[in-house]
A and B are shown apart, each in its own frame.
Chain A
């Protein structure tokens, strides 16, 4: 491709500038979330839809995917740092081997612990990042970083950037949907799905999968009888009429038209969303396969199935969270890996494996990417007996689906699993790679903000070609 000299202004305008004068804002820009992608790609995309599975709390690499025989040899020895590193919650204890058995799986011979028997069967379809690393050992900044590339709040997360860049596939569902754990929101609450300085339409729409009204305000509540199935459409029709008369007498203001269209799209969403959210429309065997009939997999299974349905219906980016913030019910296993990790692992393993197979059977793997990740890893040192502390040094993520090279592993941690050692990757590289698969050059997806052309990847990021098909 010929290098073209582009000014900052060109780049800004390339993907919709948010700060510009409202008079100049095109209708489609204000309705990006609802509009189908009209933006030229930087290169042909391999992926059109993304599901991100986020394990809240810091899923332990050396107990799941990163087998460390050296820990078996050195188990119980006090070899860790003498002083408490910044972000550890306590001084390092003795080295601790994984309490779980590891085996090699598939033709790729990937080591997986007994915690993930179902995912182990699919390792030949996955690409592993074995040496991801981050800049913090603290949940809040760590979760921000894995979502937005910054330790600080206020920056758009990956889903928002993608929604901003590509808009939606269907016009009757939000472009970016978040499915939090039924037990609660992750660290930073809704900050993790914020659109930051991008328009609010690109923030993650939180769908509470188990609630009676999964999206607040999709329909009026029951308190007010005058708002009902008869008056709702009649009111929208009347509103449309008066808004059109108003717009006709106030020409030259695209915002008025944008608001008129927004109500039309809202009506479409009212029709489409209940069908999309209703996982009970799936056959019995599908729901069973996702684990919806078993207590420990019911919630995560439901949300994986919902993710599949939403992706199938044209949602661009779905994020499924495992675990809320807090001390229990997530992957932040300080007190006991033996007791706390198995129920978490069991709650996601079968639903994830089923979802991957289901995406394939629906043909969605053709253009869908699935990412499994977490905010950081855990120490090879014991804490409070058999727990493990926070460790930003190294952790594992995997990718699956369109454009992903199957059965590969990229990067390597040190012998203890304490720090990334070979081919380490940051969130920047993961984000750059995801954008690349979506047809976007991460260096060219920018928005001017406070004197900087902001990017999801800040000033970093390399596409990890080694894991691309």
Chain B
């Protein structure tokens, strides 16, 4: 802020009055440089502004955060983030453009406002004023009262605990209640407490036996023991993972137009459940989810944590056709999710302009985008076992060294030993037996002839593309590999071996099929490896067996000489007498890239002996080690080590996959092979004027929010091109003990789930537009305690809350409380909870004896699936068989289809995961009633429950008592007993179960 004593201030081209420009202005005065003079501000400019602009941009109102009564803001501009006045350049100053009518999209004052517009003369004056400086005297500069930071941004200090309560929580809560003349409610009964705490911690009901045991436990610490037991149960992680998934909109499918399954999303779900169950420290949880690859490379088993970065939606269609739009929107979901879930900040509000309410400049938002500009959503392949990861790394390095013919890396004692072993296994090499050819033909009009040496030649008119098919037999009892020889012939261009004008050919794919004797349908065999004596650059022999007809093997420029290639079978093929082999050589590159002359041979020798080697290496094999030249030694090592490394890699267990955002991923694309997407170095991110992709402004470096004073807003990175470092820097920024938002956010979020609302009732927005905290001191005390004392242990935080008197209060209505604090913000009672969608399903499976506690693994489909119009399938939730496998699994394990929600779950307010969902709604509509009453799940489970009751006792009274015991944890009273008897007599026990499963006493937890 400018508070200098110089009479006038000149402004730099950014329109911001920084120290530098200020000094420069001062300098120009001191040096006596001529100062241009324009209209007088006080006399000629300010009155006009006052009349025409102040009504909306003055002391009373600041629309779009802009005001013309304060110099700094008048120059710097409002929420748009753009300078409003550009010195010496009225024509490009938005202020001038708006009032002069030069901007077609913005006219000030607005046409329909009552404020008089500027006259022609006044417009001319304004222009002259800006062009001449502008000069704006200090005495009229105006000031803005320095506002105290918003509560959530204030330094985090632990306040004194009021009162003498054992549990500090009760001290804070009861002190505030006392101020309002309210007393807390008495402790709930044990019967209520066990139900409440089961629901809260595990999302599953206690059994009637557990209830009775707890109620009759004489131990005064029975409740604390119960809490500890439940927190130690794996059911806890299953329950609380769901809360986190709502918060970050984690689902199993893309959403949008192509709403297809992400087959590799579920390991993240299991990771989160495990993280909660293991009570992972919060800072560590943050770091693992954002950048475990960077922080903990020696624990690759943690890689599924990165699933956090793949939680949100993905628009495949926009990705494929509108790359620029995609990049910005895709990163936007990551920025929004990260800031919302970890620091409860609505950074995305600053996409188009500076945040209107919170101190978040637009540049902060784009700095966060830059954090994620090196990643894209998709499947990341990884090794989950360190030893395998390291071994893969070693083989990959060797393979790379072989390709690069890196002398130093190749000629090591280890490799010499590998080469010796390899040569021993190879021995004299394989013996090849020519195929006994029966038929041979070419498509597309070329002639095919076979000469006396058994060489097949292609002649006649040269087609563009062709496929050669050869059938034959062999007397070998089994074969392990196939060999293709190609020959030079004088009549071919450049003597061949190809028919293309330059002597080359392109073998797109080679296939081998076997017709067992008497069989009409052949068996197609798989080649595991192909080797050749020569490979054209980028046209290697492996392309002939990659299943992709778009790539091929070629030999240019080594034309005019014969070549050969060897194709190894996955397993030896036993040749039954009469079996026929059919070999197809697809050559579909076009342009007449066809083989001119060739023959085929087979061998039954072990595959260790068969590989084709470059001619130079073949020659080198004949020479004793000591007589080899250095070049020969390197060539030999390169060929052999390459083969050994490829074998080594093939022998490793397959890579695991996790759906995340990473620099190099495969994008699930329904039935087709997933597409590989790579971002070599992070893409440059620009601030976008008004958030518009078409108007990029300055380049922005990676960083986070500038509002946390104690932490630098822009990262200093050792290697800014390493995208992982960017994510790690953000993780460090979030997880820092200095980040006051992080610690307030998590304790408030946890509180929200224990009481049904947070101390601040907007758990993902602690900013000015969020809720006002009812007990800000308690938030702060909890935040500091959680960070420093509990060391980020969620279970410690749960235990503290759950054992407080505040939590244990009765939820019963009290006239005095309702009168003074109807919304129960002060917590004079506990809040009653309705079973959420997941809990309703899990409870109902549990009480009807259908609960299946299998943990982990791929998601369970609670629907039947059919083909859709394009990639998105059709789902039928009503057709699902509730006796089917996985029908009793906990809801956390069901497949959540982002765009095709389960109508049953929706009816109970399961959120739309197109959006982050930090809170669940509550509704009670007729459609919900119809769903609960008629949906097949409830009907089926009613039947299950009736059967279960009938199996235990044939006495109706007992059955009824057991039903209410399971669902209501109590005996029916006489009136109920009579009514239920009568109803059951007419309609059956299952019909009664259906009614009870719809009852409020079942749906609500006191």
Contact = CB atoms under 8 A, between A and B. Distances in A.
Contacts of B940: 223-224
Contact of B257 (A187, A260, A451): A187
B184 interface: no
A34 B926 contact: yes
A183 interface: yes
B623 interface: no
Nearest to A241: B979
Interface in B295-343: 313, 315, 317-318, 321-325, 329, 332-333, 340
A232 B834 CA distance: 24
A47 to B, nearest CB: 23
Nearest to A153: B914
Interface in B854-893: 868-870, 872, 874, 878
Contacts of A258: 924
B818 interface: yes
A190 B906 CA distance: 12
B976 interface: yes
Interface stretch (B33-41, B407-415, B982-990): B982-990
Contact of A21 (B764, B825, B868, B991): B825
Nearest to A458: B352
Contact of A450 (B249, B315, B916, B980): B916
Contacts of A231: 986-988, 991
Contacts of A283: none
A33 interface: yes
Contacts of B930: 215, 217-218, 266, 269-270
Question: Which of B756, B919, B999 is packed against the most chain A CB atoms within 10 Å?
Answer: B999
Interface residues of B, number: 104
Contacts of A22: 756, 831, 922
A280 interface: no
B923 A221 contact: no
A258 B323 CA distance: 48
A282 B431 CA distance: 85
Given A23-B822, A153-B313, A253-B813, A194 B926 contact: no
A220 B934 contact: yes
A30 B924 contact: yes
A110 B823 CA distance: 58
B805 to A, nearest CB: 20
B776 interface: no
Nearest to B360: A451
B999 A243 contact: yes
B921 interface: yes
B904 to A, nearest CB: 8
B934 A230 contact: no
A43 interface: no
B943 A224 contact: yes
B942 interface: yes
Q: Which of A194, A200, A239, A246 has the most CB of B within 10 A?
A: A200
Interface stretch (B218-226, B266-274, B486-494, B895-903): B895-903
Contact of B914 (A154, A215, A227): A154
A86 B323 contact: yes
B832 interface: yes
B994 interface: yes
Interface in A265-310: 265-266, 268-270
Given A24-B822, A224-B940, A87 B933 contact: no
B757 A226 contact: no
B869 A31 contact: no
B926 A230 contact: no
B516 interface: no
Contacts of A88: 321
A380 interface: no
B318 A234 contact: no
Contact of A19 (B761, B767, B992, B994): B761
B923 A234 contact: no
Contacts of B832: 250, 253, 255
B907 A136 contact: no
Counting chain A CB atoms within 10 Å of each CB, the highest count among B332, B349, B939 belongs to B939
A138 B934 contact: no
Nearest to A181: B869
B931 A86 contact: no
B939 to A, nearest CB: 4
Nearest to A148: B914
B762 interface: yes
Contact of B903 (A30, A216, A255, A326): A216
Tell me which of B822, B921, B992 has the highest count of chain A C-beta atoms within 10 A of its own C-beta: B921
B681 interface: no
Interface in B915-954: 915-917, 919, 921-931, 933-936, 939-940, 942-943, 946
A451 B321 contact: no
A383 interface: no
A238 interface: yes
Contact of A246 (B318, B358, B994, B1000): B1000
A184 B869 contact: yes
Contacts of A269: 926-927, 930
Interface in A320-371: 324-329
Contacts of A261: 924
Nearest to B976: A242
Contact of B915 (A184, A196, A218): A196
B756 A239 contact: no
B823 A23 contact: yes
B915 A189 contact: no
A270 B933 CA distance: 12
A235 B987 contact: yes
A14 interface: no
B765 to A, nearest CB: 5
A256 B898 CA distance: 30
Contacts of B340: 450
A145 to B, nearest CB: 12
Contact of A197 (B693, B903, B915, B1003): B915
A159 interface: no
A255 B834 contact: yes
Given A259-B924, A266-B929, A451-B769, A184 B988 contact: no
A34 B321 contact: no
Contacts of A262: 924-926, 928-929
A69 interface: no
A25 interface: yes
Nearest to B766: A451
A42 B929 CA distance: 32
Contacts of A256: 1000, 1004
Contact of A201 (B767, B927, B1001): B927
B964 to A, nearest CB: 10
Contacts of B318: 87, 136, 138, 140-141
Contact of B921 (A8, A18, A217): A18
A87 B325 contact: yes
Nearest to B318: A138
Interface string B206-234: 00000000000000000000000000000
Contacts of A141: 256, 315, 318, 325, 329
Which of B324, B333, B923, B939: most chain A CB closer than 10 A? B923
A448 interface: yes
Nearest to A221: B936
Given A153-B255, A242-B1001, A250-B813, 9 more contacts: A87-B325, A140-B315, A154-B912, A194-B914, A239-B998, A242-B979, A263-B929, A263-B998, A451-B349
10 contacts: A20-B823, A138-B325, A174-B927, A200-B925, A201-B923, A217-B931, A226-B987, A243-B999, A325-B870, A450-B764
Task: Please provide the 6 A-B residue pairs with the shortest distance between their CB atoms, ordered closest to farther.
Answer: A154-B915, A326-B869, A153-B914, A252-B813, A451-B346, A140-B257
Interface of A: 8, 18-25, 30-31, 33-34, 86-89, 136-141, 143, 151-155, 174, 183-185, 187-191, 194-197, 199-201, 203, 205, 215-221, 223-224, 226-227, 230-232, 234-236, 238-239, 241-243, 246-247, 250-253, 255-256, 258-263, 265-266, 268-270, 324-329, 448, 450-453
